[in-house]
Structure 1
């Protein structure tokens, strides 16, 4: 059997489908991912997966012009066997994340289109394409265990899981109950990330059985996914506008927040007036801030300074930082910010120097509360790997929590898609989220 790769490229929730041209040998005119033959011996159990990935990246370069630097490998799926009149194939599925939709096609493709993955079910495709997608699509486990991406990214994956579950369900009441079971699992998967629960709750609350069927839930999940990206973009613009209006030219941050990065990019390019300085705390012990600093040095015109949390007070003063931007895994109804450990140290350093601190987050990161004052769940007991702090042989106990609470008193405002929210506005948002959360009662 011939070995082939099928690559799904995703950007902001849409995937790239390609229609095969008359120049290819099989499945002409059918819709597919980016695909091609594995030229190396993928059956080699020791290095086959690496060889298949190499061929997958080659096909992405050749067929749609996307180089490795524009792509993040998200997942490699289990192979699928296809055997029909066109031939016998072992399909190796891949999912890549792209930061662009600009592609350049070669003669093997008659057309390309960015679509929601559920469109696969409605098209004339190569064999088993939906099943191939499901081999690399996000799952409840993806949402529960991801420790690489921020909460906005993970919440988007939760909506995709819910969408796909509803797409595969029918009209039977048992199917609906199964979808609700998936929704419940997603809602509870990441208790530290309010956006996951809030976005799932909103979709399900508006799609009750008896009024809307599973198809309507799919539509609502797709709409919610698009709205989520728009909300994150708008929150970033709110933060950038505030800093630009204040004349801020030096900013400090830490860790990896996609929304903060968008705000920095917006601040850099708006009106052709780039800010001059960016101070990044390395965010120990896993040092996610290093990647943020590298990104900023590569993508902005700012002078980038990387420092430790211990060095923050002197770095903020030496670089004359005018504002601090941080992300948020959730915002408590009273305005407290739950975020990566190190946020409170940064906030205290900013407070001591009379530098304003803004959390950048969509409204969906506000934790639901029925009266706006209810306590949110405790900060999850999640730790960074102990050996990232100490890998010696002495009897040393490591304390390395992943999340912590920064009190509202240290936060000057939460930049959202609805503008800069104060404590009263946050309480109103929390009450609105609570109404959506009642679907499971």
Structure 2
């Protein structure tokens, strides 16, 4: 049985589909991912996946990041017997250079696979690497903007597979997604908007799952645009304030976008102990900007802000409370307090979908009970307990502004957004 790779490349929620040319030996004219034979050890098929991407599309390792290798699946038909090794890569570009094996290429939503003549079991191959509820629940690497986009994709794919009269299955997936990460408001808000809009369009009856597919696709595009516009708002505010030395922490895609656009002269990054996501932020800033980048610890932030004459602090948010308080990675409060003591403003960059719905109980105004692995803090053999919460609440009085796609929000603006989200959440 031959081993082959099938690579899906995703950029801004769409994947690269290719139509096989007459130069290939099998499945001519059919749509596929980027595919090819495994020439080495099937257990190291990633090397073959990257080679095929270079040869067929010109996408090199510096433009793509591996998201997932899926479980192989067997394909048997008249063309032969194959073990397919699925891969999903994230790309920072849509510029590809097809070789002679590809008759056409197209960036499109993955659900388009279901309506095309494809190589065998291509949709199932996608589903082995596409986002799931479990991915949303377990991702401890990315920020909430990224994870909420994956939640929309998971809802889209579940709805695409549902029968026309199987609304209950779609609703169950939506409920699982909206509660998968209670501390990340954007996930529930974006799922709620998709489902509530579909229900409203069906006059309160159970919607057709296809309506959820369409709205999830639209919501994904809107979410990506909102995060970019929120970053643009933050950049405008920082430029108006003549801020050229910026401090941040943790790993927020929206903050990274703002930093790339701003191009500060200096960037101070707290490493975000104990998992040290800030290291990646610092390295990416070196590659993407001309800033002088300094990495520090949260404990050293007060002296570092003073030493490097930081003009402003910019952080992301997993949630924004109706009263303006912010849930973000632990260390945010230290940064905000240190900046406040030096007279440097603190800005949060977050889309409006990160505002929690109004009406939350007092107990909900706390950080989610998520913790970093204890052995990253202490791996000895003594009876030592570890306190390593992943998130914390920074009070609204320490925040100077929340930069969103709708501009810099005031307290009244935040409360109005919270009420809008509460109305959408009523579908449950």
| Corresponding residue of 1:221 | 216
What value does the CA root-mean-square deviation take over the aligned residues? 1.3
CA distance in 2, matches of 1:23, 1:377: 60
Q: Which moved more, 1:415-424 or 1:75-84?
A: 75-84
CA distance in 2, matches of 1:385, 1:81: 37
SS in structure 2 of the partner of residue 397 of structure 1? coil
**Equivalent of 1:278, from 264, 267, 271?**
267
- Residues 238, 417 of structure 1: 8 Å contact kept: yes
| Corresponding residue of 1:45 | none
Deviation at 1:247, TM superposition (A): 1.0
- Residues 321, 365 of structure 2: 8 Å contact kept: no
| Corresponding residue of 1:32 | 32
| Corresponding residue of 2:191 | 200
| Corresponding residue of 1:23 | 23
| Corresponding residue of 1:272 | none
Structure 1 segments unaligned to the other structure (5+ residues) = 43-47, 269-274
- Residues 266, 291 of structure 2: 8 Å contact kept: yes
- Residues 315, 348 of structure 2: 8 Å contact kept: yes
1:27-55 alpha-carbon deviations (Å, 9 max, x no partner): 1111000000001132xxxxx1xx21110
Equivalences, count? 424
Deviation at 1:311, TM superposition (A): 1.2
| Corresponding residue of 2:259 | 264
**Equivalent of 2:369, from 360, 381, 386?**
381
Question: 1:414 and 2:402 equivalent?
Answer: yes
SS in structure 1 of the partner of residue 179 of structure 2? helix
SS in structure 2 of the partner of residue 189 of structure 1? coil
Question: 1:367 and 2:356 equivalent?
Answer: yes
- Residues 6, 92 of structure 1: 8 Å contact kept: yes
CA distance in 2, matches of 1:422, 1:83: 60
Moved over 2 A (4+): 209-212, 372-378
- Residues 367, 376 of structure 1: 8 Å contact kept: no
Q: 1:375 to 1:426 in 2, by over 3 A?
A: farther
| Corresponding residue of 1:299 | 288
Deviation at 1:353, TM superposition (A): 0.3
Deviation at 1:373, TM superposition (A): 9.2
| Corresponding residue of 1:242 | 237
Q: 1:378 to 1:311 in 2, by over 3 A?
A: closer
CA distance in 2, matches of 1:232, 1:144: 21
CA distance in 2, matches of 1:392, 1:280: 29
SS in structure 1 of the partner of residue 177 of structure 2? helix
**Equivalent of 2:97, from 91, 101, 104?**
104
| Corresponding residue of 1:142 | 135
| Corresponding residue of 1:271 | none
- Residues 366, 393 of structure 2: 8 Å contact kept: no
TM-score (norm 1): 0.94
SS in structure 2 of the partner of residue 60 of structure 1? helix
1:2-401 aligned within 5 A: 2-42=2-42, 48=43, 51-172=44-165, 175-208=166-199, 210=205, 212-268=207-263, 275-370=264-359, 376-401=364-389
Deviation at 1:86, TM superposition (A): 1.4
1:91-118 alpha-carbon deviations (Å, 9 max, x no partner): 1111111111111111111111000000
CA distance in 1, matches of 2:153, 2:16: 15
CA distance in 2, matches of 1:41, 1:77: 16
Deviation at 1:212, TM superposition (A): 4.0
CA distance in 2, matches of 1:373, 1:321: 37
CA distance in 1, matches of 2:27, 2:365: 52
CA distance in 2, matches of 1:317, 1:377: 32
Q: Which moved more, 1:222-231 or 1:143-152?
A: 143-152
TM-score (norm 2): 0.97
CA distance in 2, matches of 1:377, 1:54: 46
CA distance in 2, matches of 1:319, 1:373: 41
CA distance in 1, matches of 2:398, 2:391: 17
- Residues 282, 290 of structure 1: 8 Å contact kept: yes
CA distance in 1, matches of 2:281, 2:245: 16
Structure 2 segments unaligned to the other structure (5+ residues) = none
